[in-house]
Copies of this chain bind each other. A is one copy, B any other.
Amino acid sequence: MKNVLDVVDLTLEELNDLISTASDIIDNPEKYSEKCKGKKLATLFYEPSTRTRLSFTAAMMELGGNVLGFSEASSSSAMKGESVADTAKIVSCYADIIAMRSPIEGAPLVAALNASIPVINAGDGGHCHPTQTLGDLLTIHRELGRMNEYVIGFCGDLKYGRTVHSFINAISKYKNIKIYLISPEELKIPNYVKHEVLNKNNIEYIETTNLDEAIPNLDVLYMTRIQQERFSDIDEYNRLKNSYILTIDKLTNAKNDLVIMHPLPRVNEISVKVDDDPRACYFKQALYGKYMRMALILKLLDETKNNPKKESRIDYSNVKINEYKCTNPKCISQVEQELDHIFKCVDEKNKIYRCIYCEKKA
């Protein structure tokens, strides 16, 4: 583990190791308070994301390290005209580890390929946000007390919510998980998640539009926001919206030890009145996110110390270079100068190739 770009790159062993390190940090914070003394984290945030940036910053400070970077710069004002590759090379002169946030998909991968220090993806557009998912796993571990054998419901917009897809992907590595997928018809989970993740891993799942009916069965309830603009029919939106808002009333039939999660920020999808209920875990979830980032920083710096990161080259087996062109307008390959278009075979049988930067199909 030299970089953390996508949760799917991590093995079950690596996930469990991170969870166990984060847990030890929670239980023995003083043991870690000087671990990163003299080290520097660069927070390169090409778009504002205050929560994520403060979480990384707090994480590094609690390890005794320093933080530098930029926080809300458009690429034009931050690193004017400079490629992500050059920025990664220069920041390698100033820091020991990078957390990068960018609206451009694949930017952290290009940074990782060029930096001589570890790179953590702190969110690259709609593509990946691995530290959110890892913090969510830690929340399950600490609040539910087990990683296997539980019933979890995802409620809200399951179609566009990348957070949900990534989290389903991660928990599907564990055993005896049963999933309720609770959403309006228009916002059902995409077929590829069902086929490539749920069915492939033999995960039992139930699709429903009814939160009230599902809630009594759940050990974990993961709420997400439903945005009006996702609906083609505004009347349909108005008819449905309240049925997916979590209120004190809706919790009447829920289990006493239900774990309620939400990636935050919430708008109104969970009533403020629920916050005082002991089952509300969404602010603790933010806290767990910080501890998971501490574990990640520690692991990556340890790995680099033992085994300096010289080059992070691409695995050139089974790739096609400059044969296809990526058509995703948000892909880094559209804007970075002198960057090869590289597609990797992800399905030998059906000859499916995906862009290595943004995973768009060729």
Q: A125 at interface (Cβ–Cβ under 8 A)?
A: no
- Given the interface contacts A54-B68, A271-B338, A338-B271, does A265 sit within 8 Å of B94 by beta carbon? no
Name the interface size band of chain A: 35 or more
User: Which one of B69, B266, B273 contacts A54 once the chains associate, using CB atoms below 8 Å?
Assistant: B69
* Residue on B nearest A275 in the bound complex, by CB: B89
B94/A58 in contact, CB under 8 A: yes
User: Which one of B61, B81, B93 contacts A287 once the chains associate, using CB atoms below 8 Å?
Assistant: B93
Q: Could you say which residues of chain B place their CB within 8 Å of the CB of A81?
A: 265, 267
Q: Could you say which residues of chain B place their CB within 8 Å of the CB of A67?
A: 68
Number of copies of this chain in the oligomer? 3
Q: Could you say which residues of chain B place their CB within 8 Å of the CB of A273?
A: 338
Q: A117 at interface (Cβ–Cβ under 8 A)?
A: no
Which residues from 243 to 298 on chain A have a C-beta closer than 8 Å to any C-beta of chain B? 264-268, 271-273, 275, 283, 286-287, 290
B50/A86 in contact, CB under 8 A: no
B72/A48 in contact, CB under 8 A: no
Q: How far is the CA of A26 from the CA of B109 in the complex (A)?
A: 30
Q: How far is the CA of A57 from the CA of B40 in the complex (A)?
A: 10
A283/B89 in contact, CB under 8 A: yes
B268/A337 in contact, CB under 8 A: yes
A338/B79 in contact, CB under 8 A: no
**How far, in Å, is A273 (CB) from chain B's closest CB?**
8
User: Which one of B66, B79, B94 contacts A290 once the chains associate, using CB atoms below 8 Å?
Assistant: B94
Q: A319 at interface (Cβ–Cβ under 8 A)?
A: no
Residue positions of A touching B, CB distance < 8 A: 33, 38, 40, 42, 48, 50-51, 54-55, 57-58, 61-62, 66-73, 77-83, 85-86, 89-95, 264-268, 271-273, 275, 283, 286-287, 290, 337-338
Enumerate the 6 nearest inter-chain pairs by beta-carbon distance, A residue then B residue, closest first.
A58-B94, A82-B265, A93-B287, A272-B338, A57-B68, A61-B66
